[in-house]
Amino acid sequence: MKRFETYLKQNRDWLLQDAPKRKDLRVYEAVYHFCFYRYLCDFFGPEEARVYPEFPTGNGKIDLIVRYQGKRYGLELKSYSNEREYYEALDQAAKYGKEYDLPVIWLISFVEYIDEATRKKYEKEYIDNDTEVKVMPMFVETGR
CB 109 within 8 A of CB 139: yes
pLDDT of residue 130: 94
pLDDT band of 140, cuts 50, 70, 90:
very high
Task: Give the whole-angstrom CA distance, residue 97 versus residue 105.
Answer: 6
DSSP label of 28: P
pLDDT of residue 107: 97
More confident residue, 62 or 139: 139
pLDDT of residue 76: 94
pLDDT of residue 23: 84
Q: What is the 3-state secondary structure (H, E, C) of 102-115?
A: CCEEEEEEEECCCC
pLDDT, mean over the chain: 88
Domains annotated for the chain, with CATH where assigned, are: 2-141 (3.40.91)
pLDDT of residue 144: 64
Task: Give the whole-angstrom CA distance, residue 40 versus residue 66.
Answer: 9
Task: Give the whole-angstrom CA distance, residue 75 versus residue 97.
Answer: 9
Tens of pLDDT, residues 42-101: 888 877 788 888 765 655 788 899 999 889 999 999 999 899 999 999 999 999 999 899
Closest CA to 89 of 98, 97, 78: 78
